Amino acid sequence: MSSDTLTVIDNRTGASYELPIVQGTVKAMDLRRIKTGDEDFGLMSFDPGLTNTASSRSSITYIDGEKGILRYRGYPIEQLAAKSTYLETAYLVIFGELPTADHLARWQHDISRHSLLHTNIQHLIETFRFNAHPMSVFISAIASLSTLYPDARQVTDPVNRRLQVERMIAKAATIAAFTYRHNQGWPFIYPDDGLSFIGNFLKMMFRMTEVEYVPNPVLERALNILWILHADHEQNCGTNAMRVIGSSQADPYSALAGAAAALYGPLHGAANEAVLRMLEQIGRPENVPAFLAKVKNGEGERLMGFGHRIYKNYDPRCRIIKQTAEEVFQVTGRNPLLDVALELERIALQDDYFISRKLYPNVDFYSGLIYRAMNLPASMFTVMFAVPRTCGWVAHWMEMVGDPEQKISRPRQIYTGSEMRGYVPMEQRG
């Protein structure tokens, strides 16, 4: 008998089955062989939230959650954060290799060429109320791109796919900046080819009346680091949404809007916004013990920015962001809420409730403090997450569309409803 197998004995029938084990997994479809008789549908696995189900093979991002390791295409996140730029990392994540100088120059040129927005999208953004949540505006504007680029439906054409990828990476940043400026009531600032991708983004966001806008190099570097760290995180909720929608061969803008919508929830990308509101609510370090007591008693909300489905150790991104926050504060001035965050972390990491559940600070715990230092409202934080995560979403979409093993995503269910019953006329209903 091969050792790379799993022997299963079905105690209902006494039958024994041998299931192959490949790369630490058994195929869910192999379970279907396990039946009580010819009429039986066969065994399924039940996994709400897909906590123990691999839905694809992927060569993009490696995470070891127990050890706190994160790598893109094999490169440790610490090295990329220290040495790369967001756009170079995006190339790596999407195409699999670091670019040569020529490839990087062409990539930068192609992205910058697509960074303008069609005036229809500008007008669309202007139609939203000034106080509409920026993520709602962002999601709507991303979805609307499919009205302008119907060629994006040719998802099986690799040349066409690359064109859409360039558009998505470039336009997500411009849409984010225009969303912010509309929210503030400021006129739009168009993209500037003379700046780096991040420098241009800062200009589109923050330029007021300066004749020449010069991005602050510390803030530009900090944003590069934050966006490198947010570029991908394998099969998270948003990426899963991108893959699920893309699996029907819908155009990638529709899939991207769906991925961004998944990110919008407070258990996912909107946790950074929730963290800041939580820190403001706690107010001062001396209020931390009382707040944590409520979290542990289940009287209040969760400790936002803590815990992760995959990391059962310190999130490696959080360590880098914490250091980056200190550097940003040297330029912008120290935000007193940092002391509240540090006190929360200090006490929680010594508390048995958090230790026993392996709850550590995650990527969202300190990132909001940097965005706040840049004067951004909390409602913009998730948009600032969505722009760089666009890189991961399109990388997974490209991988999925080119993977012959992938099928339209369509899970099973365990039906728990009524047996068949007859239609009841209105006058006989109780």
Amino acid at 339: D
Tell which one of 271, 282, 341, 344 touches ligand CMC (CB under 6 A). 271
Query: Cβ of residue 314: shortest distance to ligand CMC, in angstroms?
Result: 13
Residue 6 gets which letter from DSSP? Answer: E
Query: Cβ of residue 169: shortest distance to ligand CMC, in angstroms?
Result: 20
Active site residue 308: yes
Closer to ligand CMC by CB, 84 or 362: give it: 362
Closer to ligand CMC by CB, 125 or 176: give it: 176
Subset of 281-300 contacting ligand CMC (CB under 6 A): 295
Query: Cβ of residue 261: shortest distance to ligand CMC, in angstroms?
Result: 13
- The answer to whether residue 362 forms part of the interface with ligand CMC (CB under 6 A) is yes
DSSP string, 71-99: EETTEEHHHHHHH--HHHHHHHHHHSSPP
Q: How far apart are the first and last CA of the chain?
A: 62
Q: For strands 75-76 and 69-72, give the pairing.
A: antiparallel
Q: Which of the stretches 105-113, 155-163, 319-327, 356-364 binds ligand CMC when contact is defined by CB under 6 A? A: 356-364
Closer to ligand CMC by CB, 278 or 328: give it: 278
Of 95, 90, 87, 61, residue with least CA distance to 75: 61
Residue 313 gets which letter from DSSP? Answer: S
Tell which one of 268, 277, 312, 319 touches ligand CMC (CB under 6 A). 268
User: What is the C-alpha separation between 70 and 319, in angstroms, rounded?
Assistant: 12
Count CB-CB contacts under 10 A for residue 294: 12
Closer to ligand CMC by CB, 77 or 155: give it: 77
Amino acid at 247: S
Of 392, 322, 354, 325, residue with least CA distance to 63: 392
CB of 182 closer than 8 Å to CB of 128: yes
Closer to ligand CMC by CB, 195 or 304: give it: 304
Q: In 267-314, which ranges are continuous DSSP H helix? A: 271-282, 288-297
CB of 367 closer than 8 Å to CB of 321: yes
Query: Cβ of residue 425: shortest distance to ligand CMC, in angstroms?
Result: 45
Site map (CB under 6 A) of ligand CMC, residues 84-123, x = contact: ----------------------------------------
DSSP string, 141-167: HHHHHHHH-GGGG-TT-HHHHHHHHHH
Closer to ligand CMC by CB, 108 or 236: give it: 236
Burial class (CB in 10 A: 0-12, 13-18, 19+), 46: exposed
Instruction: Say how many residues touch ligand CMC, by CB under 6 A.
Output: 19
Inter-axis angle of helices 271-282 and 381-401, nearest 10 = 160
The pairs formed by 37-43 with CB atoms below 8 angstroms and a separation of 24 or more are none
SS3 38: coil
Q: Which of 114, 230, 308, 396 is catalytic?
A: 308
Q: Which of the stretches 4-12, 32-40, 116-124, 264-272 binds ligand CMC when contact is defined by CB under 6 A? A: 264-272
User: What is the C-alpha separation between 158 and 162, in angstroms, rounded?
Assistant: 6
Query: Cβ of residue 135: shortest distance to ligand CMC, in angstroms?
Result: 13
- The answer to whether residue 361 forms part of the interface with ligand CMC (CB under 6 A) is no
Subset of 116-145 contacting ligand CMC (CB under 6 A): none
Amino acid at 293: A
Subset of 363-402 contacting ligand CMC (CB under 6 A): 363-364
Site map (CB under 6 A) of ligand CMC, residues 299-338, x = contact: ---xxxxxxxx-----------------------------
Q: Which of 268, 315, 339, 403 is catalytic?
A: 268
Query: Cβ of residue 267: shortest distance to ligand CMC, in angstroms?
Result: 4
Closer to ligand CMC by CB, 111 or 386: give it: 386
Active site residue 352: no
Query: Cβ of residue 24: shortest distance to ligand CMC, in angstroms?
Result: 20
- The answer to whether residue 236 forms part of the interface with ligand CMC (CB under 6 A) is yes
Structural tokens at position 261: 């919508």
User: What is the C-alpha separation between 172 and 169, in angstroms, rounded?
Assistant: 6
Q: Which residue is nearest to ligand CMC (CB)?
A: 307
- The answer to whether residue 168 forms part of the interface with ligand CMC (CB under 6 A) is no
Inter-axis angle of helices 158-184 and 252-263, nearest 10 = 50
Closer to ligand CMC by CB, 253 or 365: give it: 365
Catalytic residues: 268, 308, 364
Residues lying near ligand CMC in the complex (CB under 6 A): 236, 267-269, 271, 295, 302-309, 357, 359, 362-364
